[in-house]
Amino acid sequence: MAVTCQCGGERTRKLEALLDRYRGQPQALIQVLHQAQEIYGYLPREVLKKVSLALNVPLSQVYGVVSFYSFFTIHPKGRHRISVCKGTACYVRGAEQLLEHLREELRIKPGETTADGEFSLEVVRCLGACGLGPVIMVDEDVHARVMPERIPDILSAYRS
């Protein structure tokens, strides 16, 4: 028997309920975008259009808010999320070279996701492990004192 994924319909239902709650309330834009991103994991174009219509906010203004705040993303997240710390302690210990290697290895820039949906890359300011820099996090795992040559091994441990 074929099993059909119901997750798309479920997300649509949740979004419609959210929009019904805030219909005609432009001041609720950021709150609605937050919750929409929780539902989808990112903010697809179709969702932004629906938010614009429901809250009566021009689409250009919705995009303006989404691009202003770094916690909003219009790109789907990968199965594994890589965070590179570029806080001061990590920066002086080579975070920039580390990021460069990750960019080359994954062929994406921060804020993007690999074509196979495996990894997304982001830059953060401090991961609270300054003495262990340079530090990257993959999902919930902290990798300390990472040298660029270790990157292929680290990535292959997460590839499915």
d(CA 40, CA 116): 18
Nearer to ligand FES, 78 or 87 (CB): 87
Residues between 78 and 117 that touch ligand FES (CB under 6 A): 85, 87-90
How far apart are CB 150 and ligand FES at their closest, in Å? 17
Instruction: Compute CA distances 131 → 41, 87, 90, 147, whole Å.
Output: 32, 11, 9, 15
- Closest to 114 measured CA to CA, from 140, 73, 82, 153: 82
How far apart are CB 94 and ligand FES at their closest, in Å? 11
How far apart are CB 90 and ligand FES at their closest, in Å? 3
How far apart are CB 98 and ligand FES at their closest, in Å? 11
Residue with tokens 């916690």: 71
Residues between 26 and 55 that touch ligand FES (CB under 6 A): none
Instruction: Compute CA distances 145 → 48, 94, 128, whole Å.
Output: 40, 9, 14
Nearer to ligand FES, 53 or 92 (CB): 92
Quote the radius of gyration of the chain (alpha carbons, Å).
Answer: 19
127 lies in the binding site for ligand FES (CB under 6 A):
yes
135 lies in the binding site for ligand FES (CB under 6 A):
yes
- Answer for which of 65, 74, 123, 129 binds ligand FES (CB under 6 A) is 129
